Amino acid sequence: PSTVFDNAISPQRLALDWMLQDPYTLELEADDDDRIVQRFALLVLYYSTNGPSWLLNLTECDWGEMLSSVECTNNDVVDSIGLDYFCCSGTIPGEIGLLTSLAELSFGSNRLEGTIPTE
């Protein structure tokens, strides 16, 4: 059976490909599952919403410092995403539900479709 990873232009495949080439991701420890999943979820969000460029070869918490879009706790856990007025369009990905510490999510004034997962 095919998966989203078989489609070379799916947001999930693009996220995986980016992670496999990103020096910061490659330096993460293999047992750092939470950070790897968090990074993947944010990348899928990025590729699903066609927003402005905010990916950097840094910790995903530093992506937010560039655009005030991603905020993290002191432990580098994403707890807030604000993409208001980012001219995003597309579908809110289910992978956003992988961000289990997310307390605030704001997508105002964009053209996004779909629902925000509750789990």
Among 21-25, 54-58, 81-85, 92-96, which stretch is predicted with the lowest mean pLDDT? 54-58
The pLDDT, as a whole number, for residue 35 is 93
54, pLDDT greater than 80:
no
The pLDDT, as a whole number, for residue 47 is 93
Cα→Cα distances 116→17, 24, 30, Å: 25, 28, 29
Q: Where are the domains of the chain?
A: 4-113
55, pLDDT greater than 90:
no
Structure confidence at residue 65 as a pLDDT band (50, 70, 90): low
Per-residue 3-state assignment (H helix, E strand, C coil) for the chain? CCCHHHCCCCHHHHHHHHHHHCHHHHHCCCCCHHHHHHHHHHHHHHHHHCCCCCCCCCCHHHHHHHHCCEEECCCCCEEEEECCCCCCEEECCHHHHHCCCCCEEECCCCEEECCCCCC
Highest mean pLDDT among 34-38, 60-64, 85-89: 34-38
Topology of the domain comprising 4-113? 3.80.10
Render pLDDT for 73-117 as a digit per residue (tens, 0 to 9). Answer: 999 999 999 988 888 899 999 999 999 999 999 999 999 999 988
> What average pLDDT does the structure give for the chain?
89
